[in-house]
Homo-oligomer: A and B are copies of this chain.
Amino acid sequence: MNKFISRLSKYADLKTDDVQALRALPVRMRNYSARQTLVQPGAPFDKVWWVEHGWATRKRRLPDGTVQIVNFLLPGEFFDLQGLVGGRCDHAVLALTDLAVFEAPAADVRTLVSDRPRLRDALIWSGVAEAAILREHVVQIGRQPALRRVAFLIASLRRRQALSAEDESDTLEQALGHDVIADALGLSRVHVSRTLKQLRDTGLIEIAAGRIRVIDADGLDRAAQHDTAYLHVAGPATSA
């Protein structure tokens, strides 16, 4: 719960009774192992989920077998506003690593949202932030060459993990296969390999045991032409 609460706190000024209400939710923890499917496309949204530990992805498989990863789900991140309103999932959710998630019945969260405006706002913010990430993803894939896309992905994942982590590590806490990066960025595995080599050779990153370490964060942002505003890191606080 803690990562989720600390993430939500960044989106709204939660009071102690809001936090207590969250803690009073009848949650259930579930564990998945890497590569396991959490949600099949077409599955109904009758629960609300969030990630406690490990990374997951939203992905779509096209008729010709190719895969596009639409987004990553990091610890503290909320699975979807759609959990609040039902419907069916238009994509799959897949564990990228060993994964621990909490789930709560949609009805209980709906009650929370009705009774507590601050929690409602925090959850809406969470949805707004994910939409911003999606928009940025469109921009990157649509208009950036491979080097910038890869640089961008690494820089943004590092920032996102910092959002709900205590220590601001310069290393991505999970190892990413080249095929994962390729499917996220619309590139081929081979070209991702070449591009990562380029980033290593220019001294921006380092890879050990599959885990990427950012050596020169500013250089990486420059390589990505990365504007950090989109993450809505500070949430409503910046709106003043």
Interface residues of A in 73-94 (CB under 8 A from B): 80-82, 84-88, 90-91
Q: Is the beta-carbon distance between B239 and A135 smaller than 8 angstroms? A: no
Q: Is the beta-carbon distance between B229 and A135 smaller than 8 angstroms? A: no
B80, B117, B142: the one within 8 Å of A68 (CB): B142
Q: Is the beta-carbon distance between B134 and A131 smaller than 8 angstroms? A: yes
Q: How many residues from A make CB contacts under 8 Å with B?
A: 56
Interface residues of A in 99-149 (CB under 8 A from B): 110, 113-114, 117, 120-121, 124-125, 127-128, 130-132, 134-139, 141-144
Q: Is the beta-carbon distance between A236 and B87 smaller than 8 angstroms? A: yes
Q: A70-B135, A87-B238 are contacts. A141–B186 as well, Cβ < 8 Å?
A: yes
Q: A81-B127, A85-B121 are contacts. A143–B68 as well, Cβ < 8 Å?
A: yes
| Separation of A97 and B61 alpha carbons in the complex (Å) | 35
Q: A44-B239, A141-B186, A225-B62 are contacts. A84–B124 as well, Cβ < 8 Å?
A: yes
Q: Is the beta-carbon distance between A186 and B142 smaller than 8 angstroms? A: yes
Task: Determine whether A151 belongs to the interface, using a CB cutoff of 8 Å to chain B.
Answer: no
Q: Is the beta-carbon distance between A131 and B130 smaller than 8 angstroms? A: yes
Q: Is the beta-carbon distance between B128 and A85 smaller than 8 angstroms? A: yes
Which B residues touch A64, using CB under 8 A?
225
| Separation of A161 and B173 alpha carbons in the complex (Å) | 44
Give the nearest-CB partner of A110 in chain B: B117
Q: Is the beta-carbon distance between B87 and A225 smaller than 8 angstroms? A: no
Distance from A220 Cβ to chain B, minimum over Cβ atoms (Å): 15
Interface centre among A58, A82, A230 (most CB of B within 10 A): A82
Distance from A125 Cβ to chain B, minimum over Cβ atoms (Å): 5
Which B residues touch A232, using CB under 8 A?
87, 90
Q: Is the beta-carbon distance between B238 and A124 smaller than 8 angstroms? A: no
Task: Determine whether A38 belongs to the interface, using a CB cutoff of 8 Å to chain B.
Answer: no
Give the nearest-CB partner of A133 in chain B: B134
| CB<8 Å pairs between A and B, sample of 11 | A44-B239, A45-B239, A62-B225, A63-B225, A85-B125, A87-B125, A87-B128, A113-B120, A124-B127, A134-B137, A141-B142
In addition to A62-B225, A71-B135, A87-B238, 7 A-B residue pairs with Cβ atoms within 8 Å of each other are: A60-B135, A62-B143, A68-B142, A87-B235, A91-B135, A131-B131, A134-B134
